[in-house]
Amino acid sequence: MRSLLNCTKLRTPLKAHSLILRTTTMATSYSSSSLLLSPSVSLNKSRNGSSLGFSVNRSRVSMSVSAGSQTTVNDSLFADYKPTSAFLFPGQGAQAIGMGKEAQSVAAAADLYTKANHILGYDLLDICVNGPKEKLDSTVISQPAIYVTSLAAVELLRVREGGEQIINSVDVTCGLSLGEYTALAFAGAFSFEDGLKLVKLRGEAMQAAADAAKSAMVSIIGLDSEKVQQLCDAANQEVEEADKVQIANYLCPGNYAVSGGLKGIEAVEAKAKSFKARMTVRLAVAGAFHTSFMEPAVSRLEAALASTEIRSPRIPVISNVDAQPHADPDTIKKILARQVTSPVQWETTVKTLLSKGLKSSYELGPGKVIAGIFKRVDKTASVENISA
């Protein structure tokens, strides 16, 4: 899924996620490694063994589980979060031949690819390093590839001087579309293995939904979101219901993705210049992601999520659906299922983090898409890329 424009310089192509691409148990870690349960987490058991509880330093999380009852978590636990250091994870479109090669120098990172091979049933590292490009770019391959490589980047950071300290200082995380799954794995909401199984199914379900109808996506460059909405409204007046379009990704100022039926997308492209758009870029994606065209994928995701153990994250994880952190596992499951049919609120997420006083950010995984977005919103924003 490639094709979109750099949010740092709108004339420069960049890689992004499933919408905007290069142009154009209890408290376990996300893997057998120590990524999730850092020294800041403590586990406690009651005398009679009937209940368990855990807490995270700096009052990040506090909850209890009683035997024979459901976990009770206040979903607004993180509502007043005050971010200082963030881990940011890329989405589909960030993939590139050669990613994962550096990760083989660190045992914990290399181990993630070995585990992935068993879950996926193919040699993921070989495709990441050697391609072919067309195979790596496919929805069913690129999503697991980016998920694994991004978490491998965390392990590369861990062995760097001062890396463990950086990891332990992170108090908020988020990811662009697919990257939300990576963020949840890092935050301990589910294991590395369970997260990968979900991502594998997600990619397959989205591809199947895209194959079921003629749809497409286009990036609109140089207009604010209000103007892009007006452009969509104008295009929708000329097409049937099945071909209607909508904004699917609020990426950054001047760069929004529109998704919908093929005829609707063609109408948007034809009218864009009359709305003073600088340019349009048809995205090389399988279909109309983050719209109702993905509805067939929802039931498959709901079934998979229902059978997956999801815990309250140890730090806030910002949702793509509403740009808010959620603590309740059931709510997280519902939001992940809705995510594929809902517009991505990335611009709001970035602006909120910066307005709340975020000091330092790290983009973990392939590409530098997110760093470009942050710079587009605030030229002074600091984002360091950690690749693998």
What residue type is 343 in one-letter code? Answer: P
Give the model's pLDDT for residue 275: 97
Burial class of residue 378 in the structure, from the number of CB atoms within 10 Å of its CB (0-12 exposed, 13-18 middle, 19+ buried): middle
Q: What rounded mean pLDDT belongs to the chain? A: 86
* Cα–Cα distance, 346 to 349 (Å, whole number): 5
CB 362 within 8 A of CB 386: yes
- Answer whether 233's CB lies under 8 Å from 262's CB: no
Mean pLDDT throughout 142-170?
98
Q: Are 127 and 141 in contact (CB under 8 A)?
A: yes
Give the separation between CA 283 and CA 187, rounded to whole angstroms.
31
Q: How many CB atoms lie within 10 A of CB 55?
A: 18
3-state DSSP call for residue 163?
helix
DSSP labels, 50-73: SEEEEEEGGG--EEEEETTS--B-
- As a whole number of angstroms, the distance between CA 245 and CA 225 comes to 14
96-126 tens-digit pLDDT = 999 999 999 999 999 999 999 999 999 999 9
Q: Which helix (H) or strand (E) holds 117?
A: helix 107-120
Which domains, ranges and CATH numbers included, belong to the chain? Answer: 75-212+289-386 (3.40.366.10), 215-282 (3.30.70.250)
Q: What is the pLDDT of residue 57?
A: 38
Q: Concatenated DSSP letters for 289-335? A: TTSGGGHHHHHHHHHHHHTS-----SS-EE-TTTS-B---HHHHHHH
As annotated, the active-site residues are: 177, 290
Judge contact between 7 and 15, C-beta under 8 A.
no
Tens digit of pLDDT for each residue in 285-336?
A: 889 999 999 999 999 999 999 999 999 999 999 999 999 999 999 999 999 9
Question: Residue 310: what pLDDT?
Answer: 98
Q: Which two tokens stand for residue 146?
A: 């980016």
| Cα(337)–Cα(151) distance, integer angstroms | 22
Percent of the chain with pLDDT over 90: 79
Confidence band of 72 (pLDDT split at 50, 70, 90) = confident
**Model confidence at 69: pLDDT above 60:** no
Q: What is the pLDDT of residue 66?
A: 36
* Reported confidence tier of residue 12, pLDDT bands at 50, 70, 90: very low
First to last CA, the chain: 20
The reported pLDDT for the residue numbered 283 is 86
Cα-based torsion angle of the residue sequence 194, 348, 214, 220 in order, rounded to the nearest 10 degrees: -140
